[in-house]
Structure 1
Amino acid sequence: MALRLKTKLSLGLAFLFAVILVFGGMGFFYINRLSNDADNVLKNNYESLVACTNISKSLDYIGKDASALATIESNLKKEELNITENGEQEAVSKLRDNFEALKLDINDSLRKTGMRQAIEQINEVNQQAILRKNAVAKRTAEDAKLWLTLIFTALILVVFTFIYNFPSVISNPVRVLAEGITEIANKNYKKRIRLDQNDEFKDLANAFNGMAEKLDEYEHSNLAQIKFEKSRIETIINQMKDGIIGFDANKNILFINVVAQNLLGINEQDIIGRYAADIAVSNDLMRTLLQTETNKKELKIYADNKESYFIKDIFDVTNNQQVIGQVIVLRNITPFHELNEAKTNFIATVSHELKTPISSIKMSASLLNDTRVGGLNGEQQDLIKSINDDSDRLLKITGELLNMSQVETGNIQLKLHPTEPAAITEQAIQAVQVQAEQKKILIRKFLAENLLPVNVDSEKTTWVLINLLTNAIKYSPEETVVDIGALMEGDHIKFYVKDNGLGIDEKYLPKLFDRYFKVPGTKERSGTGLGLAISKEFIEAQGGSIWVNSRIGEGSEFGFELKAVK
């Protein structure tokens, strides 16, 4: 019958207790025997010798010391009560008879001699007894020494064997289990544990083997699927036109697709597993990709035998809300650039071609309105006015489209020269004066004293100020006031235009300078939504900044700042 581990431990402890009990019992037995032998010598023979010695000494003082007889009597009684050996009784009786006769005649030397002979006989008997008992005690001690030595040696051998073998009952299974757990931790799910003992460790080994078997089944059941999914994902990634690079949490490269390899000019096998920063030392594009400031910025890269455009996106790979890696995607936006360029060229071409016929229409309308050509009735004059208004609107739109084409192609031509802020402001006011008078709007000018000139393209800067004034007049009620001004702020000149219109909701302010954006709910439909975007590009191209402040019901204030020339 197999013993359980608890039973083995209990038996082992019981065995050790039995060893202690047996050795202790044997020791107690022999010590008790030796103690009894010693007691016999002390109580029986030693006390007789002491009594006889005291009687012998007192005999010499009879007649000299009155207490001598009393001493002899006292010790004689002790001896009479302590007769333990053969022949001792006769000697004691002889001692008593001689002592009784001596008490009648203390000078009787014959009686003293008789007493001394009796004492010698008693001493002889007890000394022989002591020698005999001592021999018995020696034999007992020798037996005790022999048996205790034998028992001690046997127990030492048994205990040593127990100590040497019993821990292995626990340590060996624990070691085997530890080795098995280490193998499982290293993903060796083929590991099995075999134990011959049928105890709790056997149960634990069976449970371990069951766990390893399940893990092995799980590993192999999913391995094919994982490999298939890995191949499928790699195929998808390599077929994408975007460059993709994967990193682990330590910025080591995990994978890279074909597009990214071509862009970087590096083979996959040369960089997989390497630290990205090490590759960036000798690869400019990798160094650019690792820089955070390049996020969402267009990257111009020579690829596919032409200049191509990419945008870098970074995605964090997380597990249980912990970042375990990153993926950089170089999104190819070259087709959009090409479409945008085609759109820009088309708009520029159409706008340029439209300016000539529109100008001709405007000229013809002006000639028709001239009385020298012939008189017009009221309806005809209204038609001529409509033609002029529509022509002006079309010229403005084509002008804005041409300006935007310049901005989009990066071909803004600036003619910078020092210009007085007053001159820019005055030209802008004159350009919109007729439009302001039609709505009975008063334009108030506020120019600070001692304004320094600004180094700008006066034509484009004036165009921006005209655009701001036009918008202010357009969205202001009739018979109101529009303020325009310029003032010094540090080493910059601040131009501003303020109206008293309805104002703009704050949520739309960040989008006002975006291309084609129009504030929802406005009645104006003739604009292109490009004026403010072009204004922003013109001002920023000259190193300035443009801004807006507005609230519903409080009007709007637009302005820009340009650095003054000292």
Structure 2
Amino acid sequence: MFGLRQKISLGFGALLVIIVVLGTQSILHLSRLGVSIDVILRENYKSVIACQEMKEALERIDSGILFVLLGHAREGEELIRANRAAFEKSLQVELGNITLKTEGDKASRLAGSYRRFETLLKTVVDPDRPADIRGQVYFADLLPLFGLIKGQADEILQINQQNMSDANDRARRNAASARARMYVLLSVGTALAVIFIFFTRRWVLRPIHRLIRSSDEIRRGNLDLVVPVDSRDEIGHLSAAFNDMAASLREFRRTDQAKLMRVQKATQRAFDSLPDAIAVVDSEGRVEVATASARTVFGLKPGAALADLPFGWLADLFRDARQSGRPAFLEGQRAIQQFVRGEERYYRPEAVPILDNERLATGAILVLKDVTQLRQQEEIKRGVVRTVSHQLNTPLTSVRMAIHLLLGEKVGPVNEKQAELLMTAREDSDRLHGILDSLLDLSRFESGKARMEFRALAPRSIVTDAVEPFRRAAQDRGVSVQAEIPDDLPEVWVDTTRIGHVFDNLLSNALKHTSPGGRIALTAEASEAWVRFLVSDTGEGIPAAFLPRVFEPFFRVPGRRNETGAGLGLAIVKEIVEAHGGTVGAESGEGQGSTFTFTLRRADRFPKDKAEGI
């Protein structure tokens, strides 16, 4: 019995034979037609063109003769000379392309007539002969010879055109005959192809379609299906293997279904015990399992589609996490306000992609962490800091005034030891005053009460003004400061005083942590809507473990020498830049220097009212 390979080979082999026969016949007929067409074009076309050109050149020579007879000898002779060359060239083409029996005699007579024409032409254009004699020669001899030559050229043209017409008729007859034979062959080939396709479908396609329908039934869960095995070829073996697979799946379903139900119930109970709103979403954005708080607060019920929920940012987070393969947050990791049973709550959403072995996202985990208590603690902390700062500022001012009066010996002289103690006290009180001012600034920015006055300025002028006060100190420490800001950068919206504090903090930190011989570089670059500023140094760098915390208030990198600040400078930098609508960042490695970056809005992309409404 034929196997599947033999059946397919038979079907496609027969089609191949049909294609070869039809192709061979087509090539043969096209070759014959090509020969006929080549005869038309190659044998007669040159003679037709040559005769046309001889007639045209002869007409122009006659016009030149008339010019000479009318007294325009120079123009006439030039016209005769140019067209004699054209006539002779065409005559040589015709003499070299004799393809018909009578064409040779006619061409020879034409050449003889032209030689007589040349002899008479010399007499007519000879300026030494009297004009009346030349006129008589032209009208009596040359003009009749002109008509004779034209007629002879026209005869040659006509016999070639007639031969082209005859060849065209033969080509048409050959084409009609070839078309009829091709119709017959095409009909026979089509009939044979239909027969082979019918048997191929019966032998191959029908069993395969039956297997496809059976696999669709199994995909929909119908594991009780049995595929009929009615042949001993490969399709029959595949059908038998398919039935064995279905039997194995039925067994697996019986043993695994109960286990799956237990796992699902345990997972749901574990989820319900979690305090935060958490949901697992499949690759199409549908909720598979969710905690109780996620169901009640955000409507993340199993089966719900993120696109149908009234929280567009949820679908955006899911899409960003799935496309990037990394956790996704809202801009600035901001929190979302929700009212739960009349109580104001805050949630910080995060989407964590679920990756398979090939690092492709198959879903995501949505985590909506309840940060209400954290926000309340932050508010309490800011309130305490603000209150303490205000309360300490007044007595500290009195202490600083007293120290100033004592050092100025306004209330009496002081000895050297007393002056040394007072200088130390003044330094400590000034440092404490700076800390209190920083705390008050930080508090104003965090509460949104800091007033900003935006102006559009060129990045080059901003950086130049910021760097200038540090050049002397950098020179004293042996550190080079280089500002490479292109002149063509677009203007940005800035509060000049506040952005000056940003550069002061970044440059003072860079100078403090860069050893003599080091370098500080300031650069800037434009993007679609922002200008990005970079402050780099070759200093001691920041360990990777501490880099994410450098913008936190009161954080100082452990183990740093001569670290006298309160850890508020970079926190204030972050608040000022965010008040401008930008973002901050830091890149560093221990012993490799540091690069701090921040972005500002382009003035040509954002109107001033939008910049002020940040």
Q: Which has the larger radius of gyration?
A: 1
